[in-house]
């Protein structure tokens, strides 16, 4: 039998097994579905409602609980079956994509290991017909060329010989291609995948994961895994695969609710949201740092967006003062400051009750410094909060017979009196009463006073009597005035959490940070404190640092390792997104050669189109973008939002403006400032208005580089005249010059 016939026959057998399993499950799932519906319908029939006696109430409650439990059990069962069916459906289309033949040391038999999106066992559930790509044995597929190979399970290292590695293309249950490969999985397949048009959603790379990417995906040791990867090297792709890997490996301990991804903007969130479902997994929680902070902001406060900061910086406002807030040693300085607060300098708000001071700031400070100095700040605050809440009871008692209460009673609704009288009557059944009127009056008074104390209690319990704003102002020597700049967010809330105690976030066990080059050591310190049980995966590219502080070398990616953290670093050099010609051109914009190897894929030279005037440049842009057709995307990238706005206004009929709140692609032509296109890719990119005045600083060049590396197949610059300075370092062979 030929190899092809052999594989075809095997495929048929596997497909048949899937069919049999599906049939069995459909029967099971169908029944359960009916059962669930039936149970819902008869839910109330089986519950005897009897509220006459306390015992009956308890019984009824128990009966409801029992029914509800049964129902949710059935639903869970049903959910699991539905998920299984969906997996089989996917497998029917393409049950596996790879195979390796392996002889374990000390064994004679050669095993055939087929690798797919999920595992499949044979009819008797004895052997694996297909192994999940995340199973330990499957790692060899990504890590080795034929020859010696090994893999690790929980308790052993298995060594042996890989005799062959084969790749399959199976679509709709048909084997349309197969080829044997070396280490790099399917250069041909990669070429094919990478030359396709862009899509609205990122795709999984499971069939062509490369060895270095596999190391990121499967790393389980590091507490903090830091990935520096060139533009387009697959950092985001690897991160999403890693999530799927962890969900599989820790499936009995964690689920997607224990994982959080911090990404640069809502559009990016949407862009990556298809990867996990494609792999048969649920999406993890996703947010942006900005959104996360804005949800913690006290009422009435405002927060600058990271892009607001970039725009401020692009308008070249003085940032020196802010840079001290992003300096590498900031966490250390802030910790020192916080430590000193144990002895001196804590600031409080006076606690007001009905426009009068109930506890003065001085009293609170005095109480705070009464504590033994060994007690931590947040513990002291917690104890004070308890004391204050207890004190509220005294306050309530004292207020009961104040005149304002008597006055307020007149305004109370009749229902309140009715309720009070019912309560008093209930009590009368139990005890002899003397004067129900007095009791009613007392109940209503209590109610009135309690309404005024409730919000106070809530504030105290949230430790709002600590004046963090003042503390922060004392630290920075700057007036905050209820407005946090972008660079204030992390130090402010770190300080906040250190003195007031941090919110409960223990459920987050894995934190992923994409575009991590924009994070400073202060951000990480804040996040580590907030998510103490989480392992961190940081992915970024120092060459794409577009915030001043991170471009100045303060990015977390380049920071020295801290002994307390178990840090592992991985570098990805091979870049996949853009053609070699685009990458070779783009890298010339950087002051020194980046650690980047372009993927050898055919494509045209980048084009620089030079126009005589701004008007001519705009006209050409209109013509090109209005004629854009097809599945792919064209992006017109500017330096600032203001410029992008003007262009988008003029061609709103066929182009979509990307802003920091945009959360989905609606058109094929997109207009955006480069910094908002981070993490995303387009078939073709036009860098619009590149001139010596606009692009001057090191930072500007990083921005330009980031924009250029968004292009998959074609890059153009639109310029007026010739940007002598920008082009100075770029060899003329690397681009094509066109006048007009
Ligand atoms: N192993 C792979 N197989 C197939 N495609 C890949 C692989 N690795 C990366 N790619 C493709 O390369 C492109 C870039 O990947 P991705 O966006 O993950 O890179 P990145 O490092 O996060 O990029 P950037 O930092 O520039 O935003 C995507 O289209 C992705 O599908």
Per DSSP, the residues of 157-220 read EEEEEEEEEEEEEEETTEEEEEEE--SSTTHHHHHHHHTSPP-SSPPP-GGG--HHHHHHHT--
For the CA of 514, the closest atom of ligand 1 is 22
pLDDT given at position 54: 59
Residue 374 to residue 285: CA distance in whole angstroms: 38
**Residue 314 · residue 693 · CB < 8 Å:** no
Residue 558, pLDDT above cutoff 90: no
Q: Is 233's C-beta closer than 6 angstroms to any atom of ligand 1?
A: yes
Cβ(708) to ligand 1 under 6 A? no
**What integer best gives the mean pLDDT of the chain?**
87
pLDDT-derived band of residue 407, with 50, 70 and 90 as boundaries?
confident
Query: What pLDDT, in 10s, does the model give residues 434-471?
Result: 677 777 788 888 888 888 999 999 999 999 999 999 99
710 pocket-lining for ligand 1 (C-beta < 6 Å): no
Pocket flag, ligand 1, residue 723 (CB < 6 Å) = no
Token output for 110: 């050669």
Measured in angstroms, how far is the CA atom of residue 187 from the centroid of ligand 1? 15
Q: Would you say 235 is a known binding-site residue? A: yes
Tokens read off for 705: 């580089």
234 Cβ below 6 A of ligand 1: yes
Q: Which residue has the tokens 């790379």?
A: 205
190 Cβ inside 6 Å of ligand 1 = yes
Say if residue 236 carries a ligand binding annotation: yes
Compute the distance from residue 324 Cα to the ligand 1 centre, in Å.
Answer: 35
Phi, psi of 256 (to 5 degrees): -65, -20
> In the numeric block, which tokens belong to residue 304?
């600058």
Instruction: State the pLDDT at residue 226.
Output: 93
Q: Given pLDDT bands bounded at 50, 70 and 90, which one contains residue 487?
A: confident
Centroid of ligand 1 to alpha carbon of 237 (angstroms): 6
- Cβ atoms of residues 718 and 621 within 8 Å: yes
* Per-residue pLDDT, 569: 92
Greatest Cα-to-Cα distance within the chain, rounded to the nearest angstrom? 103
Residue 408 labelled as part of a binding site = no
* Bridge partner list, 611: 720
Indicate whether residue 236 lines ligand 1 (CB < 6 A).
yes
Residue of 577, 601, 637 best suited for mutating to test ligand 1, as the one with most atoms within 8 Å of CB: 577
Which of the residue ranges 68-82, 178-192, 222-236 would you say has the lowest mean pLDDT? 178-192
Mean per-residue pLDDT, 371-391: 94
Q: What is the mean pLDDT of residues 723-730?
A: 91
Q: Over range 72-77, report the average pLDDT.
A: 77
Averaged pLDDT for residues 527-531: 95
Q: What is the pLDDT of residue 107?
A: 92
Q: How far is the C-alpha of 699 from the C-alpha of 692, rounded, in Å?
A: 13
Nearest of 112, 90, 185 to residue 142 by alpha carbon: 185
Torsion over CA: 228, 230, 234, 235 (sign): positive
* 87-127 pLDDT tens trace: 898 899 999 999 999 999 999 899 999 999 999 998 888 89
Assess: ipTM above 0.95. yes
To the question of whether residue 711 is assigned a binding role by annotation, the answer is: no
Q: Which residues are registered as beta bridge partners of 484?
A: 303
Tell me: the pLDDT tens digits for 33-68?
Answer: 566 566 666 666 655 555 566 566 666 677 777 777
Residue 193, ligand 1, Cβ within 6 A: yes
Phi, psi of 173 (to 5 degrees): 75, 5
If we measure between CA atoms, which residue out of 227, 208, 233, 239 comes closest to residue 142? 208
Ligand 1 centroid – CA 214 distance (Å): 13
Q: Is 712 in the pocket of ligand 1 (CB under 6 A)?
A: no
- Residues 354-383 have a mean pLDDT of 94
Strand partners, 637: 672, 687
Helix (H/G/I), strand (E/B), else coil: 420: helix
CA of 135 to the centre of ligand 1 (A): 23
Rounded-to-integer distance, Cα 731 and Cα 712, Å: 21
User: Which atom number of ligand 1 is nearest to the Cα of residue 210?
Assistant: 1
| pLDDT tens profile 615-631 | 999 999 999 999 998 77
Ligand 1, atom 28, lies closest to the CA of 577
Q: How confident is the model at residue 419 (pLDDT cuts 50, 70, 90)?
A: confident
Ligand 1 contact via 543 beta carbon (within 6 Å): no
Threshold 0.90, pTM exceeds? no
pLDDT at 354 > cutoff 60: yes
* Nearest in space to 348 (alpha carbons), one of 333, 337, 359: 359
Please, what is the angle between helix 3-41 and helix 54-93, to 10°?
A: 160
Pocket test for ligand 1, best of 193, 236, 263, 713 (most atoms within 8 A of CB): 236
What average pLDDT does this structure show over 328-341? Answer: 92
Q: Name the residue among 457, 532, 521, 473 with its Cα closest to residue 497.
A: 532
At residue 188, the pLDDT reads: 74
In whole angstroms, give the CA distance from residue 58 to residue 39. 22
236 C-alpha to center of ligand 1: Å? 7
Query: Sorting pLDDT into bands at 50, 70 and 90, what band is 363?
Result: very high
Residue closest via CA to ligand 1's atom 30 equals: 234
Kindly give, in sequence order, each residue whose CB lies less than 8 Å from that of residue 14, ignoring residues fewer than 6 positions away. Answer: 95, 96, 114, 120, 129, 130
| pLDDT, position 50 | 57
pLDDT at 375 over 60: yes
Q: Please identify which residue in the block is written with the tokens 């153009």.
A: 716
Residue 473 CA to residue 482 CA, distance in Å, equals 11
* Residue 230 is assigned to a ligand binding site: yes
Q: Does the beta carbon of 205 sit less than 6 angstroms from any atom of ligand 1?
A: yes
Average pLDDT (488-513) is 93
Residue nearest to atom 8 of ligand 1 (CA): 234
Annotated ligand binding at 545? The verdict is no
How far, in Å, is the centroid of ligand 1 from the Cα of 235?
6
Q: What are 274-314's pLDDT values in tens digits?
A: 899 989 898 999 999 999 999 999 999 999 887 776 677 66
The 8-class DSSP code of residue 132 comes to: E
**Backbone φ and ψ of 289, nearest 5°:** -60, -40
pLDDT grade for 343, boundaries at 50, 70 and 90:
very high
Residues 365, 474: Cα–Cα separation, whole Å: 16
- Give pLDDT, residue 432: 55
Does the CB atom of residue 579 touch ligand 1 within 6 A? no
Rounded to the nearest 5 degrees, what angle is found at the Cα of 555, between the Cα atoms of 581 and 377? Answer: 160
What per-residue confidence (pLDDT) applies to 335? 95
Number of Cβ atoms within 10 Å of the Cβ of 344: 8
């Amino acid at each position: 039998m030929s190899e092809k016939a052999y594989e075809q026959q095997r495929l048929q057998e596997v497909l048949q097994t899937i069919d049999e399993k599906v049939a069995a499950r459909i029967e099971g799932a169908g029944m359960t579905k009916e059962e669930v519906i039936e149970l819902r319908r008869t839910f109330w029939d089986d519950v005897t409602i009897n509220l006459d006696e306390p015992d009956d109430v308890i019984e009824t409650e128990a009966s409801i609980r029992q029914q509800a439990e049964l129902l949710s059990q059935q639903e869970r069962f049903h959910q699991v079956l539905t998920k299984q069916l969906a997996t089989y459906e996917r497998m029917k289309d393409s049950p596996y994509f790879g195979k390796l033949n392996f002889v374990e040391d000390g064994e004679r038999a050669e095993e055939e290991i087929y690798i797919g999106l999920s595992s499949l066992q044979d009819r008797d559930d004895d052997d694996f017909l297909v192994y999940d790509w995340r199973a330990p044995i499957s790692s060899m597929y990504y890590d080795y060329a034929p020859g010696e190979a090994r893999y690790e399970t929980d308790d052993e290292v298995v060594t042996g010989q890989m005799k062959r590695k084969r790749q399959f293309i199976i679509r709709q249950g048909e084997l349309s291609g197969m080829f044997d490969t070396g280490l790099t999985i399917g250069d041909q397949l990669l070429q094919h995948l990478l030359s396709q048009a862009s899509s609205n959603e990122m795709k999984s790379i499971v069939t062509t994961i490369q060895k270095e990417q596999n190391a990121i995906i499967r790393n389980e040791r590091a507490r903090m895994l830091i990935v520096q990867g060139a533009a387009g090297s697959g950092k985001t792709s690897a991160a999403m695969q890693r999530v799927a890997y962890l969900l599989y490996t820790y499936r009995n301990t964690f689920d997607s609710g224990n994982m959080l991804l911090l990404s640069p903007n809502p559009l990016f969130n949407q862009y990556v949201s298809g990867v996990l479902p494609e792999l048969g997994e649920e999406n993890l929680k996703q947010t942006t740092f900005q959104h996360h902070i804005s949800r913690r902001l006290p009422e009435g406060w405002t927060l600058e967006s990271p892009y607001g900061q970039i725009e401020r910086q692009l308008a070249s406002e003085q940032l020196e003062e802010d840079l001290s807030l992003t300096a590498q040693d900031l966490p250390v300085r802030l910790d020192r400051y916080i430590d000193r607060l144990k002895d001196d300098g804590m600031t409080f708000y006076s606690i007001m009750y009905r426009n009068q001071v109930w506890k003065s700031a001085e009293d609170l400070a005095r109480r705070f410094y009464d504590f033994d100095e060994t007690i931590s700040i947040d513990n002291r605050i917690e104890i004070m909060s308890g004391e204050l809440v207890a004190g509220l009871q005294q306050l309530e008692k004292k207020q009961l017979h104040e005149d304002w209460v008597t006055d307020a009673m007149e305004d109370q609704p009749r229902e309140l009196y009715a309720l009070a009288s019912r309560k008093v009557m209930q009590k009368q059944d139990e005890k002899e009463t003397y004067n129900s009127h007095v009791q009613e009056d007392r109940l209503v008074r209590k109610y009135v006073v309690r309404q005024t104390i409730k919000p106070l209690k809530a504030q105290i319990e949230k430790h709002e009597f600590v004046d963090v704003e003042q503390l922060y102002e004392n630290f920075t020597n700057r007036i905050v005035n209820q407005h946090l700049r972008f660079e204030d967010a992390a130090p402010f809330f770190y300080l906040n959490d250190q003195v007031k105690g941090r919110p409960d976030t223990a459920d987050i066990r894995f934190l992923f940070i994409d575009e991590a080059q924009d994070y400073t050591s202060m951000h990480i310190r804040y996040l580590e404190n907030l998510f103490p049980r989480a392992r961190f995966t940081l992915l970024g590219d120092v060459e794409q640092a577009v915030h001043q502080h991170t471009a100045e070398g303060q990015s977390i990616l380049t920071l020295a390792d801290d002994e307390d953290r178990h840090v592992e670093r991985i570098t990805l050099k091979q870049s996949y997104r853009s053609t070699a010609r685009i990458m070779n051109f783009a890298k010339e914009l950087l002051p020194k050669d980046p650690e980047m190897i372009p993927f050898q894929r055919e494509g045209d030279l980048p084009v620089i189109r030079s126009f005589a005037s701004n008007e001519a440049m705009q006209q050409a842009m209109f013509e090109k973008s209005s004629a854009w057709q097809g599945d792919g995307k064209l992006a017109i990238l500017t330096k600032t939002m203001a410029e992008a706005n003007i262009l988008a206004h003029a061609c709103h009929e066929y182009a979509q403006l990307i802003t920091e709140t945009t959360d989905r692609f609606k058109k094929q032509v997109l207009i955006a400032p480069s910094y908002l296109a981070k993490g995303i890719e387009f078939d073709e990119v036009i860098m619009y208005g590149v001139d010596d005045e606009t692009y001057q600083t090191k930072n500007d060049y990083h921005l330009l580089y980031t924009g250029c590396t968004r292009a998959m197949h074609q890059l153009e610059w639109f310029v007026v005249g010739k940007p002598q300075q920008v082009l100075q370092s770029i060899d003329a062979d690397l681009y094509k010059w066109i006048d007009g």
